[in-house]
Each structure stands twice: as C-alpha cells, then as structure tokens.
Structure 1
Amino acid sequence: MDSSLFTHRGHALRRGRISEPGRACLLTTVTRNRSPVFLDWQPARLLVGEMRRLHDESQAWVVMPDHLHWLVQLESLPLQALMQRLKSRSAIAIDRAAGNAGNRLWQKGFHDHALRQEEDLAAVARYVVANPLRAGLVTRIGDYPHWDAIWL
C-alpha cells in the first residue's frame, strides 16, 4: 500500500482541528506501547498536577492505566500547544521522579473531538469519568482515584 496515503491523511486530520477559545474539546492520548504507567499512583498524580498547571479549569478528566481522556474548554493556548506541553511536561516530571532520563512516555499524536453546541457537556463528562467502570477496573466510580469532573 502507498505510504503517502497515510501521510496525507495525518496532515488532513491536523488541518481539520478546531482550536478556538471557548470551544469544548475531548482529548485522548495514549502511552507508548500502551504501557500501563498510570497503574502506579505517583506517575498518575504527576500527570494530574501538570494538567492542572496548564489548564486549571478542566471540565472533566480520567487517567486510565495507559491513556488519558481530558475534557477541556479551550482558552488562549491552541489545542496542539496544550497537548504538546502536557505530554512534554508530564514526561519530564515522571522521568525525574523515577530517576530515568529520555524515556518516551507518550505515543505520537492525540485524538480530539470538538464538541458541537448541541452536545451536552455534562453527559460527555459522565461518559469520560465512567471509563474505569466500563473497563472493569472498579464497580463504583468513587473507588477509582484518578478522575474529576466539575459537575460530579
């Protein structure tokens, strides 16, 4: 198969990203090789700390063992820059805490979904924080330590 098709498709996805202030976006990013880094409490909390430093008005988020779902309302920082900073800063903090250097924490890229006006933000937030239930990690969301939502 022609590899230029993949290059073109990736370029088109980036070009179609909506990064306007005030727009709510659901962001998902995955650890390298889907490694369950965030089963460990310390890396998970370091990631949460970086999320709060970058965007303290998050609508909802859940840190799963090998990925992150983050519902944000964009501010002045463009979407691409927000994710780049989160991934970079969290990788540095986690490497530093573990005494590692240069380990790549995150897979390249991320998935984003710009919410439409008719989409119910609270319903999307409930969907986000219910991920540990659907994954079978807990039977009650209150038993899972790495999530938050402004409505719940």
Structure 2
Amino acid sequence: MSSPKLHYGRWSHIGNVYALTMVCQHRQPSFDDERCVQIVSRTLRAMDEEGFTASLAWVIMPDHVHWLAQLRTHALGYCVQRFKARSSYLMNRCRKCSGAVWQPGYYDHAIRSDESLREQAMYILANPVRAKLAERIGDYPHAWCRWEL
C-alpha cells in the first residue's frame, strides 16, 4: 500500500499535463522482456484512444516508465491506477505468473509552463542516454514523442 504522505499536496485537474514515473516492483527489470514492453506501449496508447489521456511522450526503461500526459476525463490517480491495473493483468497473463508488477504509488510533477513541458519531454527522452542504453536521443526503441524536439 502506498504511503498517505505521497498524497499530501497532490492535486489533479482535467486538462493539465503531468510528468509521471512508475517503477516496477523491487526494481525488477520487467521490460527486458519485449512482450512486456509491447503490452505497456499498447496500454499507454489505449489510455489515449479511450479518452483518458493525451500522451505527449514516454519511455519504457528496463525497470520503470516515464510518461508525459495530459488528463482528459478523469483524475490523475484514476488514470495511473487504470494503466497499472491493465498492464499488470496483461503482463501477468502473458508471462503466466501472478503478483505485483508495479511498486505502490508513483511520482508526478504538474507541468505549469511551455518551458517546463519541453524540459520534461527532454528529460524523459534523454533517460536512456543517461542510463547508457542509447548514444543519442531518438536511438532508444522504447521511447515515443508526439512531436520532434
């Protein structure tokens, strides 16, 4: 269960953009498995297609996901819970196992300016470079961005 302290000061407004980080349980490198990467990618796209979010960028790292998204119809907590529940169910079914896929809770940062939006998108897309999984932004196969930076 997540700590109630994680919820202090957290607010959520439809139309706002948030930078989110969700970490795999025990930092397990679940996304070394290409099937799991595809499940998470499809789940992020489904969140957009079903009208919950409008994704701007994401990167699926070996043990966590960074996601930059605008809320469209529901509160932030609901959208994250829906993403985690759906992706967990599909990943466990695919791997024929059970149990937690994600750590409880998540990190969020509300975007308040165009400059901050660009900074967060660059941070997300540069994450594989900092982790030495890619040499340049754009080389990592599990990153996506709505626009060219």
What is the TM-score of this pair, normalised by structure 1? 0.87
Identity of aligned residues (%): 41
| AA in 2 matched with 1:109 | G
Structure 1 residue runs of 4 or more that deviate by more than 2 Å after TM superposition: 10-13, 117-120, 140-143
Unaligned runs of 5+ residues in structure 1 are 1-6
Task: Give the aligned length.
Answer: 143
Unaligned runs of 5+ residues in structure 2 are none
Q: Which residue of 2 aligns with 1:127?
A: 123
Structure with the greater alpha carbon radius of gyration: 1
| AA in 2 matched with 1:138 | A
Shift of 1:143: 2.7
| AA in 2 matched with 1:90 | S
- Does residue 117 (structure 1) correspond to residue 113 (structure 2)? The answer is yes
Q: Which residue of 140, 144, 149 corresponds with 1:144? A: 140
Secondary structure of the 1:53 match is helix
Q: Which residue of 2 aligns with 1:32?
A: 25
Within 1, Cα distance between the matches of 2:5 and 2:139?
40
- Tell me how large the CA RMSD over aligned residues is: 1.6
- Does residue 65 (structure 1) correspond to residue 58 (structure 2)? The answer is no
Q: Which residue of 2 aligns with 1:77?
A: 74
Contact 2:14–2:72 (Cα < 8 Å) also in 1: yes
- Does residue 108 (structure 1) correspond to residue 104 (structure 2)? The answer is yes
Q: Which residue of 1 aligns with 2:4?
A: 11
